[in-house]
Each structure stands twice: as C-alpha cells, then as structure tokens.
Amino acid sequence: MPIRNLHQKPFDEGTQDKLELYRDYLREWLPVFINGSFVDIIQIFDFFAGPGFDVHDNPGSPVITCDEIRNALTQTEKQRFKIKVYFNEKAATKFKNLSSYVEEQKISLPQVDFIAMKNDFHSAFNQWTPYMRGKVANLLFLDQNGVKQITKHVFQEIVTLPTTDFIFFISSGLVNRFRYRPEIRNCVPITNDDLSRMNGTNVHRIVAESYRRWIPDRLEYYLGSFSIRKGANVYGLIFGSRHPLGIDKFLKLAWKRGGDANFDIDNDRIDPLQPSLFSEYDKPNKISSFEKELETAVLKRHLTTNKEIYLFALQSGMLASHARKALELLVKAKKLPKQSFHVSYNAWKKPESERIQYY
Ligand SMILES: C[S@@+](CC[C@H](N)C(=O)[O-])C[C@H]1O[C@@H](n2cnc3c(N)ncnc32)[C@H](O)[C@@H]1O
C-alpha cells in the first residue's frame, strides 16, 4: 500500500485543513482546563509528530501545539496547573529536527514540561498511557500514516480514559481501494454491509461510524468525523470524547467548515452566492435528514426531554442549534405546541431536564 512521506513536499491543502482543525480544537480545549479547576495537569500527546515543519517552514503539529499553548498562557493569570507535552516520532532525521525545535521551546516556554521520544507508536503508547490517569486532562493527536496504527486495543484504551479527547487521522480512501485485503479488514471495524454502501465520496463517513462498534457496551461516548478530499483521495479525522462539551466544540468547528466534510459530500450543489427561491432547496441533505429523524423520535416519544434532544443531536453529528430549528419546524407545522425549554449545553448542565409538551 502506498504511504506518502508528508514532509518531503510543502503541506498540501488537505493537510493544511487537517492541521487547522487540530489547531482550532486545541484553541477551544486548552482554556477549558486552564480556566477550570478540575485537573492539576494538562497534557498533549502527539504520537506521530513529524519534524515540526514542512520544507517551506509551514507549521506542523508540534509547532501548532506550542503556539497555541503560548497563546493560551498569555490569556490567563492562573498558574496552578502544570502543562506537559509529549512528542513521539519514529524516523531518525525527523526526530533530530523535532528535538532541536523542542530544545528551543524549553527556553521560550519554561512553564511547560516537554518529553520527546523516538519510538514506534505502540511502544510510546504503552509507555505513556499510565500517565494519562489521575487528575489530568489529555488531548491525544494521532496523525498516523495510513490506517493501521489505531488497533482495537489502542482505541479501547483511549475511550475508557477519563477526561481524554482524541483526534486521529485515517487514510479512509485506502479502505475503499483495498477493501478485500485482510490487513485492511483486520485493522478497521468495517462490515460487509458498510462496504456495500461505501464509495469514493462517503468512505470516511462510513469508516468513522464503524468505530462505534469498538466502544464498550454502556460507555457513554461521542464520536465525530470530518472528511477531507484532496484530488481523488478522501481521508479524514475522527474525534472522540466522553464529554458532551468536547464533541459540541468539535462539531461547531466542523460546521463552520460546512458540516462533516471540506467538500460537497452529499452532492447538495448549494451555491451561497445564488440562493434558490425556496430556502428548502438550500438546505443541506444532512440537515433535512436530521430534522426528519428528530421529528420521528420526538413524536414517537423516544426523546422526551431537552437533554435527550441535545444528546441525540450530538450523537447525530449535529448542533443544539439544528435541534432547536427542527423543533421550531414541528411547532410551526402544529405537530407540537410551543415549548418553554431551550436545547443547549447549558440546559444539559442543569440537574433537572425539562419535558417536551405534547398536544
Ligand atoms: C502524517 S505524518 C505526521 C505529521 C505531523 N503531525 C505534522 O504535522 O507534521 C506521520 C508521521 O509519523 C511518523 N511515523 C510513521 N510510522 C510511525 C510509527 N509506527 N511510530 C511513530 N511514528 C511513525 C512518520 O515518520 C511521520 O513523520
């Protein structure tokens, strides 16, 4: 299977999109723990760190991580927490460059503990997971080449860690292309049914969804995904969190980029510069389908409170604002009376949920 060396050329547009999403999530995630008092240590693990830059000095994930920490620290007076950053990179030359960068950062960011290692991913993962438990918050960035590194064991270790969010990259297009190869089937939880629905466009969505099968029973967990297309290739990010606030923040960043892809994944053909006469035609398919699903779930009373509606939206890759809009449509169509509650993260935080009013 072809594996690209990302650092031999300048980062392409798809790589920039991936790294920008990582940057934006980090920017949202850091203040939650810097300004809160839930943890003593804030930790970022970049397991496939690369050298720090591409050949044109565009920032890679290690530089992004340090820049965002610097940024976040200038916006707070608090210093009761510790920040630890772990970088791992297996290739010797890249590790050498990474190490020089880390040495510079030790001087300009003395508040941060840096740990850099030149190991194979699995060895680094086994070595560092014991530090991921306790009064700590972890963000794991797993920017692998290809599809193979996030095995069932690794995935299940991560999702059962407390206060841990992850973002992992996967070359999903390879799953579609090499679908009959056992080495692909063995490392991604896809089924024959997934493969029958899979094509070159929806592949990452289906691959990302399939990881739900590896979430242990009864564990409340949220997954999100973002498909990235570059030329004929589709790959993407998979996000995971045990907390609604984590997935809420990730989905907001994804919807700012159009939903769950950096291209027209559902062939909606909406041109914002030339809106159609009927706004319904300018609604992405993903939103229309969600509105129908929410209507069925509410009218059949499978969802009966504002919290349930909020969590249903997040599990469907949608925001509280989409759920509110869907409810408004039901009120407008006189299928529900006007509701007095609000669907939002703040409402979710309140101890009591509010019940849906029916006719
Ligand atoms: C997609 S690149 C990561 C790019 C990096 N995040 C950046 O922004 O520059 C994957 C990196 O993982 C390294 N790598 C590949 N296989 C590895 C393994 N088994 N263990 C650790 N590192 C590995 C590669 O040398 C490469 O630098």
> Ligand 1, residues 23, 26, 54, 90: which to mutate, most atoms within 8 A of Cβ?
90
- 194 and 343 fall within a common domain: no
- CATH number of 34's domain: 3.40.50.150
Which residues neighbour 85 within 8 Å (Cβ) at sequence distance 6 or greater?
A: 43, 44, 46, 65, 66, 69, 112, 113, 114, 115
- 227 and 289 fall within a common domain: no
Q: What is the mean pLDDT of residues 247-255?
A: 98
- 80 and 118 fall within a common domain: yes
Q: What is the mean pLDDT of residues 64-68?
A: 98
> Ligand 1, residues 54, 144, 154: which to mutate, most atoms within 8 A of Cβ?
144
Which SS3 state, helix, strand or coil, does residue 319 take?
Answer: coil
- 177 and 321 fall within a common domain: no
Which residues neighbour 331 within 8 Å (Cβ) at sequence distance 6 or greater?
A: 337, 338, 339
Final residue belonging to a domain, choices 200, 225, 256: 256
Tens of pLDDT, residue by residue over 144-165, are 999 999 999 999 999 999 999 9
Which SS3 state, helix, strand or coil, does residue 169 take?
Answer: strand
> Residue 292 belongs to what domain range?
279-349
- 238 and 305 fall within a common domain: no
Tens of pLDDT, residue by residue over 157-216, are 999 999 999 999 999 999 999 998 998 989 999 999 999 999 999 999 999 999 999 999
- 41 and 126 fall within a common domain: yes
Q: How far is CA 168 from CA 48, 79, 328, in A?
A: 10, 30, 35
Confidence of residue 264 (pLDDT cuts 50, 70, 90): confident
Residue 354 lies in a domain: no
- 227 and 294 fall within a common domain: no
- 82 and 202 fall within a common domain: yes
Cα(299) to ligand 1 centroid in Å equals 48
Question: According to the model, what pLDDT value does residue 278 have?
Answer: 67
- 158 and 307 fall within a common domain: no
Question: According to the model, what pLDDT value does residue 281 have?
Answer: 67
Q: Does residue 277 have a pLDDT over 70?
A: no
Residue 270 lies in a domain: no
- 217 and 309 fall within a common domain: no
Q: Which residue has the tokens 């009864």?
A: 218
Of ligand 1's atoms, which has the minimum distance to the CA of residue 169?
1
Confidence of residue 270 (pLDDT cuts 50, 70, 90): confident
Residue 326 lies in a domain: yes
Q: Using CA positions, which residue lies closest to atom 23 of ligand 1?
A: 90
What's the mean pLDDT when you consider all of the chain? Answer: 94
Report the number of distinct structural domains present in the chain: 2
Q: Using CA positions, which residue lies closest to atom 26 of ligand 1?
A: 50
- 290 and 235 fall within a common domain: no
- 138 and 234 fall within a common domain: yes
Residue 199 lies in a domain: yes
Cα(118) to ligand 1 centroid in Å equals 11
Of ligand 1's atoms, which has the minimum distance to the CA of residue 48?
12
Of ligand 1's atoms, which has the minimum distance to the CA of residue 54?
9
Residue 273 lies in a domain: no
